[in-house]
Structure formats: structure tokens, C-alpha cells
């Protein structure tokens, strides 16, 4: 990328570097996930001061050939997001942590950038995030190659039958079973068609989280732990 070429991105995470600088994990339209250093960004007179905030679409330029790029300019589109510690803000932090943990570095995916951008925009219009989260999780898994097979069972490779019950095996898919089933065939078909209103919410969440935990090799997410503590 040319040092003078502007690129769209979102901030996923940031941490302090020294007394005045910030290292930011960002997700860019053209270059995917990457790390940049914003030198002096914590100084009030810095051109970066106050700009590195999550859930706002940023315009940046950067330079450097190493893995850690240097931020050179920044601008942003303002998203009017309530920064209070709400369920919505933690849902968004959860999605950002998913992006950090699951996305490889420097792997451009413009479709995923558009998906994330639309998710952020849609989240501003909704008070209830549950279905929006489940849609994003399923789309993210599909785009990263971890998509769930909603078409056939894992043994006979027969089409999912709405009259049969199934258990879900995260690394494989759905297996017909009348013993302690997780889902009815109709549940699976409804999820495939994104007809979430006819699926028990706990089952839908169980499905996406089991798959995500498999992708994360069983490691829990910090955002989930924080939200659990706040609910107690």
C-alpha cells in the first residue's frame, strides 16, 4: 500500500505502548487484520488523540514494511454508540474479540469487512441483539471455513429430516439420535433458513458457541467472562 493511500478500517483492540503511544489491532478493507503503532496518540495535541475508538469506521494511512506498521494519518465516520456498560456494548466487544482470535493476520477479506461493517451499523438500530449476533456468528464461521453443515447428517449423509431428532458434534455436524437430542430436524432446518423465531434461543446460542469454542480450541473469551461476572 502506498503511504499516501487512505484505507477503511475498524479498531478491534488497543493497548498502551510506553507513556504516550498506542498499539492498535485493526481490521482493514484491503489488507485484513493488522497491527499499527500510533506514536504519541495519548497526547492531547496529537492528531491521533481521541480517534482510536471501537465501532467507528476509520480512514487511515500507514507506512512500514515490518509486521507492525506506523500510523501516519487518521479520520473517522462517527457512529453514535452509547459507551455505557450495556449488554449491547459487551456484545460488540465480544464480536471484536472473536475477530481478533479467529482472523489470521494480513489475510484480506472484503466480504467479511462488509459483513462486519453492516453488523456495526445494524447494531445501532436495534435494542435486542440476540438474532443479529447469531446471524453474524454463522456468517463469520462460513466465511472462515468453519461453517456448519445444515444440509445432511454426518453418518448416512441423508438430508436433515424434520421428523428426526439430532445431537450436534461441533467438529463434525448433526447426528441422528433419539437419546438426549440437542435439536429436532425442524430446528436445524429453521436455523439453516435463518428462521430464528421458531428456535429456542438457548439452543441457537448453544449451537454457535459450541462451534466457536471448537475453533478456539476450548479457550474462553475475556468478554464472556466479564459479562458473566456483571450478571451475578
> pLDDT digit string (tens) for 150-162?
999 999 999 999 9
Residues 6+ away with beta carbon under 8 Å from 137: 98, 208, 212
User: pTM for the whole thing?
Assistant: 0.87
- pLDDT value for 229: 42
Residue 41 has pLDDT above 50, yes or no: yes
Residues 6+ away with beta carbon under 8 Å from 106: 31, 32, 33, 34
- Helix H or strand E segment including 142: helix 130-143
What's the CA angle centered on 214, arms 209 and 217, to 5 degrees?
Answer: 125
DSSP 189: H
Confidence of residue 106 (pLDDT cuts 50, 70, 90): confident
Confidence of residue 227 (pLDDT cuts 50, 70, 90): very low
- Helix H or strand E segment including 130: helix 130-143
How large a percentage of the chain has pLDDT more than 90? 68
Confidence of residue 226 (pLDDT cuts 50, 70, 90): very low
Residue pair 24/34 in contact by the 8 Å Cβ criterion? no
Q: Looking at 64-134, which runs of residues are DSSP E strands?
A: 68-76
Comparing 61 with 129, the larger pLDDT belongs to 61
What's the CA angle centered on 112, arms 201 and 206, to 5 degrees?
Answer: 20
How large a percentage of the chain has pLDDT more than 70? 88
Residue pair 141/148 in contact by the 8 Å Cβ criterion? yes
Angle between helices 87-102 and 201-215 (to 10 degrees): 30
Q: Write the CA distances from 196 to 66, 98, 130, 133, 201, integer angstroms.
A: 45, 22, 10, 11, 8
Q: What are phi and psi of 141, to 5 degrees?
A: -60, -40
- pLDDT value for 190: 96
Amino acid at each position: 500500500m502506498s503511504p499516501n493511500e487512505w484505507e477503511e478500517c475498524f479498531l478491534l483492540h488497543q493497548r498502551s505502548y510506553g507513556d504516550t503511544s498506542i498499539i492498535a489491532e485493526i481490521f482493514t478493507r484491503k489488507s485484513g487484520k493488522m497491527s499499527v503503532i500510533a506514536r504519541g496518540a495519548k497526547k492531547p495535541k496529537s492528531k491521533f488523540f481521541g480517534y482510536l475508538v471501537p465501532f467507528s469506521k476509520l480512514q487511515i494511512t500507514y507506512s512500514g514494511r515490518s509486521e507492525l506498521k506506523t500510523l501516519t494519518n487518521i479520520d473517522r465516520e462517527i457512529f453514535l454508540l452509547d459507551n455505557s456498560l450495556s449488554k449491547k456494548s459487551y456484545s460488540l466487544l465480544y464480536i471484536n474479540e472473536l475477530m481478533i482470535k479467529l482472523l489470521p493476520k494480513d489475510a484480506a477479506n472484503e466480504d467479511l469487512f462488509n459483513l462486519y461493517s453492516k453488523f456495526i451499523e445494524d447494531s445501532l438500530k436495534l435494542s435486542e441483539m440476540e438474532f443479529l449476533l447469531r446471524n453474524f456468528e454463522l456468517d463469520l464461521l462460513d466465511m472462515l471455513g468453519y461453517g456448519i453443515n445444515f444440509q445432511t447428517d454426518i453418518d448416512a449423509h441423508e438430508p436433515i429430516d424434520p421428523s428426526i431428532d439430532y445431537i450436534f458434534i461441533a467438529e463434525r455436524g448433526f447426528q441422528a439420535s433419539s437419546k438426549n437430542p440437542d435439536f429436532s430436524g425442524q430446528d436445524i432446518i429453521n436455523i439453516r433458513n435463518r428462521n430464528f423465531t421458531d428456535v429456542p434461543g438457548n439452543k441457537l446460542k448453544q449451537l454457535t458457541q459450541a462451534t466457536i469454542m471448537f475453533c478456539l480450541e476450548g479457550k474462553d473469551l475475556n468478554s464472556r467472562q466479564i459479562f458473566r461476572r456483571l450478571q451475578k
